[in-house]
A and B are shown apart, each in its own frame.
Chain A
Amino acid sequence: MSDALNEQELMESIDGDLEFLEETIEIFDEDGPPLLEEIARAATADDAAALAKSAHALKGMLSNFYAAPAVAAALELERKGRAVDLANVEAAVDRMRLETQRVREALQHILEKNRS
């Protein structure tokens, strides 16, 4: 089982409804990448306010999947943005990408496992 998210809590929260999980994953696929791009852009452009805002939005989205590491990465970015302290922001953005990717893979794994 992946540590990218808490599968048990996730499945309980949606009553094991795979159809609904698929629906939320579709939204995640649509809304997640643009947010990640906005985070990267804001970090590069030293746009602290935009960074905080987009990281906050991504954090909220990820929290629905009980994805603690990804939520922590988003929270770190949000705090950097709010504190207008963008030191080492590139590393935090990379971690964000990585954790988001791990969440997506974990979700795919859950779908495939339950379909088979």
Chain B
Amino acid sequence: MRILIAEDERITRRTLQRQIERWGHEVVATEDGMDAWERFQEQQFDIVVTDWDMPRLDGRKLLERIRAEADSRYVYLIMLTARTEKSDLVAGMESGADDFLAKPFDRNELRVRLNAGKRIIELERTLAAKNDALVSANTRMSSDLEAAAVMQQDLLPKDLPTLATRFAWHFEPCDELGGDILNVMPLDKTNVAMYLLDVTGHGVPAALLSVTLHRVLSTETSGSTLLTTRDPAGEHHAITPPRGVAEELNRMFPMDNLTGRFFTLAYAILDETTGILRYMVAGHPQPILARPGQPAEHMAGRGLPIGVFDEPNYEEQAVQLKAGDRVYFYSDGIPEARNSDDDMLDPAGLLELIDAARAGTLEDDLSECMRSFKEWCGSVPLGDDISVLALEIPS
């Protein structure tokens, strides 16, 4: 242990120093409070033994300074004094003293008090080390999560300059990482595929599966034939219909019995030349269609979530879109959100929010819609990931 002594009377100081050094401690002896304070700022000590009455800076002020020092290390403070008045002891304790020792000090008393201090210091050091390890682990995990969140955001659709159809999206995990994911991909010159999926749960476990699914549902992944099948020459390709995509995913991703994790999906293919949107909904909220001059309405289609049943018998839907039509795919985090009155937004509430924001561009209106949604939620934090993928047929 490193022990700092502050004592202006030389014989007491030397006696203390000699005695404590004989017990194997490292001692720095100073002649008053100011001298001790300067040493304390330069070096680290485990225990400080200080006299009460000293020139320049007395023991009480020294203790107050040491306690005010914003150092996370605990220092055990022993006040050495001839004073025995209770009020003096109280004042000393209020200044931060852990213990007292009367002068002339008794060797055995000094030894047991130093040992008590040593136990406290070692306990505090152990706790501090564990706390440091926890902070370090937490910092590393937070950093990893932030990096993973950036990577997940990077999976979202980028600029789509070749597409005539307008797209807009909103993606907001309730934790750092989300179980929702969405994307828009041209399949060929006329067909564009889009999906929005929602892995049950949220956070890291859900995000791991959502990122895997993003890779599987990508046309950029070499060797992927889930969305399109090429002939051996690579010159022609066949587009897998939405129902086929859902059935294949159902086969590839049966529900994990250990975690009970599965996902819901809305997958669609828009033929930009005809305006026909083929889609299927697997356990997902029904998409919303907003035609110019008409109230937004839910589109037909229901189906079982992906991975839950062996023979889900998915049904594919089709709708003829016209200029100005908008379609919204969204995760259940929105209609199932609750506000401070514990009311659920419900699918009808979402229709109202969409209808209330239809005056501007698709992107601006979606931003306004999400702003209204947050306003409706009030101070209630998101309980689930929320995501929306919207398209508009140009006029």
Contact = CB atoms under 8 A, between A and B. Distances in A.
Interface residues of B, number: 14
Given A20-B18, A60-B82, A66 B11 contact: no
A64 B12 CA distance: 6
Interface string A10-44: 00111100001001100110010000000000000
A59 B82 contact: yes
A13 B10 contact: no
Given A13-B107, A66-B104, A61 B15 contact: no
A104 interface: no
A12 B15 CA distance: 12
A24 B14 CA distance: 8
Q: Is the interface of B mostly helix, strand, loop or mixed?
A: helix
Interface string A56-79: 110111011010000000000000
B315 interface: no
Interface in B4-40: 8-12, 14-15, 18, 22
A28 B11 contact: yes
Interface centre among A23, A56, A59, A63 (most CB of B within 10 A): A63
Most buried by A among B14, B15, B18, B104: B104
Given A14-B15, A20-B18, A56-B53, A27 B10 contact: yes
Interface of B: 8-12, 14-15, 18, 22, 53, 82, 103-104, 107
Interface of A: 12-15, 20, 23-24, 27-28, 31, 53, 56-57, 59-61, 63-64, 66
19 contacts: A12-B107, A13-B15, A13-B104, A14-B15, A20-B14, A24-B14, A24-B15, A27-B10, A27-B14, A31-B9, A31-B10, A53-B53, A59-B82, A60-B12, A61-B10, A61-B12, A63-B103, A64-B15, A66-B104
